[in-house]
Amino acid sequence: MDLKLDNVSHSYGDLEVLQNVSLDIPEGKIVCIVGPSGCGKSTLLRMIGGLEQPQKGKILQVGDVPKGCLNALTYVFQDFALLPWRTVEGNIKLVLEDHRLTAGQVEEIISDVLSRTKLSDFRTALPKQLSGGMKQRVALARALAVNPAVMLMDEPLSALDSQTRELLMGDLVALWERAPFTSVYVTHNLNEAVRLGHSIVVLSRRPGRIREIVEIDIPLADRNSSSINLERKQSQLWQLMRDEAIAADQELLIV
C-alpha cells in the first residue's frame, strides 16, 4: 500500500502551518521529513495518521491494506507513550486485545516481536524499570505487533542519548533489512535522516512547503557513520536548511 498526499494545506486560526504539500510515499521505503522547528512536521504526520484533518487537500491510501495487517497506520511516539501500569508484554497485548485473536496467536506475535527487538528477557518488566532506549524498543515492538502497512515515527530517537540513538538506528536498519516496512520518519537530526531515509523531504520554515526531495540510493545496510557519500548528502541537506533555520529562529511569534 502506498500513500499519496495531494496538495495538503492547513492553518491553525491565522497561523498558516502547511502549504500545498504533495508527496508520494512508496511501499517498502522510508521517507524522512526534515525541517526547521515549528514548520509543521508533527502536524503533517498527525494528518497522515488520521489523528487530525487537513483543511485543504487530501491524504490517500493507494491500493489495499495488506492482509494480516491489524492497524494500517501505526505511530511511534517521541515520548514512547507506554502505559506505566502494564508490563512490556502487557503493553504489546494492549494493541492486540481489540482484535479477534486466539491466545495462541497473541502469544506467537508477542514472542516474535520481542525477539525481533531483542526484548525477550524483559517480558515482565514494568516501564519504570527500563532505560529510555529500552522503552523505545518496547514501543517499536508494539508497533510491529500490529503488522503496520506504514509506520509513522515522530522523532522517535530524539529523547535518547547519542549512543543509544546510534544503537537503535542500527536496530531499525536491521529490522528493515529483515522485512522492509514503509515509514514516514520525522526528525530534526540530519544524520538520522541520511542513515535511514530512502528519500528525504526538506520542508521550508513555517508555513511548511516542500523545498526539495533528496534521494539517497545507497542501500541502508551499507550506510555507516563514516561514509563520505553520506557526509556529502548531509552537508547538502544542511546547506538547504541553514538559511531556513536561521530565519525560523529569528522569527517573532505573534500570539
Which residues from 135-154 bind other proteins, rule CB under 8 A?
Answer: 146
> CA-based diameter of the chain, in Å?
57
Q: Report the residue closest to ligand ATP, judged by CB.
A: 42
Q: In what order do the strands lie in the sheet with 56-62?
A: 15-25, 2-12, 56-62
Q: Residues 67, 100, 128, 178: which binds other proteins (CB under 8 A)?
A: 128
x/- string (CB under 8 A) for other proteins, residues 40-59? ---------x-x--------
Q: How far is the C-alpha of 143 from the C-alpha of 158, rounded, in Å?
A: 18
Which residues from 37-66 bind Mg ion, rule CB under 5 A?
Answer: 42
Give yes or no for residue 156 binding other proteins (CB under 8 A): no
| H or E element in which residue 18 lies | strand 15-25
43 binds, among Mg ion, other proteins, ligand ATP, none (CB under 5 to 8 A by kind): ligand ATP
Q: Smallest distance from the beta carbon of 132 to other proteins, in angstroms?
A: 13
Q: Smallest distance from the beta carbon of 42 to Mg ion, in angstroms?
A: 3
* Chain residues that interact with ligand ATP, rule: CB under 6 A: 12, 15, 17, 35, 37-43, 188, 206
Q: How far is the C-alpha of 46 from the C-alpha of 55, rounded, in Å?
A: 13
> By C-beta, is 143 or 216 nearer to other proteins?
143
Cell of 159: 529523547
Q: Smallest distance from the beta carbon of 38 to ligand ATP, in angstroms?
A: 4
Which runs of consecutive H residues, i.e. helices, occur in the chain? 41-48, 88-94, 103-116, 132-145, 162-178, 190-196, 228-250
Q: How far is the C-alpha of 242 from the C-alpha of 177, rounded, in Å?
A: 32
